[in-house]
Structure 1
Amino acid sequence: MPHLDTWNIGYGSRHYADIAPFSLWDGDSSTFRPPAAHESQWIFDTFSAVSVNFFWPRIIIETATPPSPTPLTIACVAAIFIPVGSKYTPPITNTNYSNHRMADPIPAHFHWPKWQRPTKEQSRVVWERLGQIMNIEAVNFIPPIIIIELRHDEREYSKRSLPGKVAGRIAVYHRGPPSFWETIPHTRERLIKSSDALQDTYFQAHEPKRLLRSTEILDNIWCTVDGLASGLVYLRTDGVRLRRAPRLPVPESRTEYIFEYIEGGAHVAEGVRGVPIVIDHDNDNQLGAVVGFFQQEGHGSRWILSSCLDDVIEGDWDLL
């Protein structure tokens, strides 16, 4: 169960094992700030770090001696500990199509704050406006950028022919096959093992109690997947993905959540497929809340996709 000192409230969350005497989230401006020199030194000294890198909204700490219990945040930033000599690669793609001199196709009144995900209406506008100038397979909203997957068809795009800003955000493009998520480096080496987490009495998943609509889910919160084969594994909500719905005559989209592993080093086994993804929070409104169901990812991948439950809820389905 989560510790009483855990704040799993979105950006600015602090895990109970986060002992940093400062926060790198500025609540007044709702954004992250770089650490001061003495704060950087504190991180290096406290975790015997070989390197510390920031890929906001996460901090990557390279160390041979990770702390125990493992903090899911450091200074209110999602923390990932990696072994010495390994690398962390954020989602990246080919940017040759992006032209930052082109006009933003999304009207300013449909833009949204940097570290938030779009509303359904904002997502719809982005999907429809982009669909007027390109053939879309999927749109990934991963704060603070947008990754647009172009459909693999007869349409051709020259270099710097597509807008480099969409809804006020940096926009980059991918054209498959393979799909964008199949091109992400499959390296999820961790210092933390899920079996170790099971030995901590705090690391017990909540019993799934109810399904949660997408509008009820906060950005940048951590969740758990608990299976007999894998043990307890932690995921962080990293964004949302709109993809073209298959077998429909119109370009209607479907919504998926994007999750990143933040703790639990063992590869998640096939036997976990379909296990509920549950918010790790004691708040009455979130207790036992299910945000999706685990779908098997590529071997060793850092990210997984899970369908939004809105349609399931609208169909009057519920947990047994």
Structure 2
Amino acid sequence: MSNIVGRTRSSPWIRDLRLTTPYVSFFHNGSCWTNLHSHPTPRDPLISPLRIEQERTWISEEARGSRHRLDLAPFSLWDMDAKDYREPSLTEAKWISTTYKSRVIEFIAPFIVITTEHAALPEHNGLVTLTVACAPAIFISKQTEQDGFHAGPPWCNALRLCNPHLNDSLLQVFRSCPYNEPTAEEAQMILDELRKYCAVYAMNFVFPKLVIELANNGREYKDRSLPSRVAGWHVEYHYQLSGTPYWESTVSIGRNRETSAANNTGKGDDTNYLVTGNRMLGPGVRVEGSRLASTAGVRVRNGTKVRITLAAHSFEGCTRVFHPNGDSGDLIAEIKERYVDEDWALAELTPSVAFNNSQIFDSPTPQRLLSSNEMKGREWYMCDGMTTGKVALLYSGCRYVESAESDCEMTWASQWTPSTIYYAIGPATGASEVREGICGAAIIQETANGVGGFFRWISNNGYCFSSRLDRLIQDGWSCY
């Protein structure tokens, strides 16, 4: 089985990043670096709007338990009946250890963390699988393991507040499944229940647990005063008064050793595609405002209005958009609309600039915007940024956060700004230039040809957020 994807990105930055990060899966078949006769070379990055036929990424794709095409395990750690992950048996653990020549294997659901010097199997020509036994796989070196690498979201600083003996009264109403996002109605009931005990700033349904960020309003809590289970979810708490914000809290970032671009930081892909190949822009190209460089999203339309999407924070205080930079590049667009809460900016192209979604790099052409409900049944997404190339994003839950104008004691969950939580398996947790440069890039579901959001922010340990597109869709915008 194969599918058709867009042109390849052959900038020296991306090529070097792929060659120097052997522990990272780039969600890519790698052929553009091994067969220069059929693909563009660094001297001529884009000869034509090349269409490439490559193998599909997934042997099977599910809401959970998907199997990557390089996943050779003769078993699955996802239990379809229980709708949960299970521990590997001794025999299965030995198979993983032998296959990957691993000295340490750690299973922290949903991740399987494999310490090895051989992340890519010999028959895979340097390519790294995204899953092992249908569990998301993270490969690390011996040194990173000794540095204290931690898989999963940041640690909470207020675990002492949890009381396992408090009654979970919502179990009489419904029971949530830890790897399924709650409905809006269920989220509201969970919020109402928690407000009996505490002031909530944000709810993070980050699979398989619920992390509550307590409102920074001076309220104090006694030890073991808050429920540790709500509607079946295992709950943990973070109190900003006693430390930094939850998603910026101190965590092990040892995996930077495998994902850093420290030897090649700066610009990312700075190719000017207006003077290269067919002289047409597309999703994933470098764009720049007065201060920051980031990644272009997709072309959208609303009636007679045609725009390209951008990361609003990258164009704070300015409206003009340049490609590839503001020094020697071209003025390509001017921002006309902003969605500040969602970090979207919509820019109108100058008449002389051609932009088409089919010109996306190494990814299926985005054909539509996905609503929240359409996203929940898909586990893996991709994102192609100008500093990272194409990387994988694991759909990891949702975040409800208090709006700036709201009263956290009174608002409804439906009034809060919802975001999708992803875990980035790729170089996006490396140098700061890499993390910032990917902002604005379209987050795409491969088999649905749909855009689930636009890359917004990433923590040091790999978790990132993206505002959902329901508001953009409701306002009449669609891919064009």
TM (norm. structure 1) is 0.88
What is the aligned counterpart of 2:150 among 62, 85, 88?
Answer: 88
In 1, Cα distance between equivalents of 2:223 and 2:169? 18
Q: Confirm whether residue 278 of structure 1 aligns to residue 444 of structure 2.
A: yes
The code of the aligned residue for 2:446 comes to D
In 1, Cα distance between equivalents of 2:363 and 2:257? 21
Paired residue for 1:181? 247
In 1, Cα distance between equivalents of 2:96 and 2:422? 26
In 2, Cα distance between equivalents of 1:155 and 1:131? 13
Note the C-alpha offset of 1:100: 0.9
Distance change >3 Å, CA 255–CA 133, structure 1 → 2: same
In 2, Cα distance between equivalents of 1:302 and 1:80? 11
Distance change >3 Å, CA 316–CA 90, structure 1 → 2: same
In 2, Cα distance between equivalents of 1:308 and 1:210? 14
Note the C-alpha offset of 1:102: 1.0
Q: Confirm whether residue 71 of structure 1 aligns to residue 132 of structure 2.
A: no
In 1, Cα distance between equivalents of 2:257 and 2:470? 33
Note the C-alpha offset of 1:163: 0.8
Paired residue for 1:12? 65
In 1, Cα distance between equivalents of 2:420 and 2:374? 13
Paired residue for 1:227? 385
What is the aligned counterpart of 1:159 among 220, 223, 231?
Answer: 223
- CA deviation profile, 1:246-284 (whole Å, cap 9, x unmatched): 113552322111111123465434232111111133xxx
Q: Does the 8 Å CA contact 2:112/2:135 hold for their aligned counterparts?
A: yes
Paired residue for 1:260? 423
SS of the aligned residue for 1:71 comes to coil
What is the aligned counterpart of 1:306 among 463, 466, 470?
Answer: 466
Q: Does the 8 Å CA contact 1:83/1:189 hold for their aligned counterparts?
A: no
Q: Does the 8 Å CA contact 1:186/1:302 hold for their aligned counterparts?
A: no
Distance change >3 Å, CA 61–CA 190, structure 1 → 2: farther
Distance change >3 Å, CA 186–CA 303, structure 1 → 2: farther
Paired residue for 2:102? 49
Q: Does the 8 Å CA contact 1:226/1:232 hold for their aligned counterparts?
A: yes
In 2, Cα distance between equivalents of 1:137 and 1:17? 41
What is the aligned counterpart of 2:371 among 204, 209, 213?
Answer: 213
Paired residue for 2:476? 316
In 1, Cα distance between equivalents of 2:371 and 2:190? 21
In 1, Cα distance between equivalents of 2:150 and 2:366? 32
Which of the pair has more CA radius of gyration?
Answer: 2
Distance change >3 Å, CA 220–CA 44, structure 1 → 2: farther
Paired residue for 2:401? 243
SS of the aligned residue for 2:60 comes to coil
* Length, aligned pairs only: 307
What is the identity percentage for the equivalent residue pairs of Structure 1 and Structure 2? 31
- CA deviation profile, 1:24-74 (whole Å, cap 9, x unmatched): 112122222221222111101111112111110111111112113211110
Residue segments in structure 2 that go unaligned for 5+ positions in a row: 6-53, 121-125, 265-360
Paired residue for 1:293? 454
Paired residue for 2:75? 22
In 2, Cα distance between equivalents of 1:192 and 1:244? 33
The code of the aligned residue for 1:253 comes to W
In 1, Cα distance between equivalents of 2:366 and 2:461? 25
TM (norm. structure 2) is 0.60
Q: Does the 8 Å CA contact 2:84/2:179 hold for their aligned counterparts?
A: yes
In 1, Cα distance between equivalents of 2:198 and 2:457? 30
Q: Confirm whether residue 32 of structure 1 aligns to residue 85 of structure 2.
A: yes
1:89-168 matched pairs, under 5 angstroms: 89-91=151-153, 92-93=155-156, 94-168=158-232
The code of the aligned residue for 2:152 comes to P
Residue segments in structure 1 that go unaligned for 5+ positions in a row: 196-202
SS of the aligned residue for 1:6 comes to strand
Which moved further from structure 2: 168-177 or 2-11?
2-11
Q: Does the 8 Å CA contact 2:116/2:139 hold for their aligned counterparts?
A: yes
Q: Does the 8 Å CA contact 1:220/1:238 hold for their aligned counterparts?
A: no
Q: Confirm whether residue 3 of structure 1 aligns to residue 55 of structure 2.
A: yes
SS of the aligned residue for 1:123 comes to helix
Q: Does the 8 Å CA contact 1:190/1:264 hold for their aligned counterparts?
A: no
Note the C-alpha offset of 1:167: 1.0
Query: What is the CA RMSD across the aligned residues, in angstroms?
Result: 2.3
- CA deviation profile, 1:143-200 (whole Å, cap 9, x unmatched): 22111000011211111111111111211100115221011526143647899xxxxx
Higher share of residues assigned helix: 2
In 2, Cα distance between equivalents of 1:16 and 1:135? 45
Note the C-alpha offset of 1:305: 1.2
SS of the aligned residue for 1:53 comes to strand
In 2, Cα distance between equivalents of 1:189 and 1:146? 26
The code of the aligned residue for 1:135 comes to A
In 1, Cα distance between equivalents of 2:169 and 2:55? 45
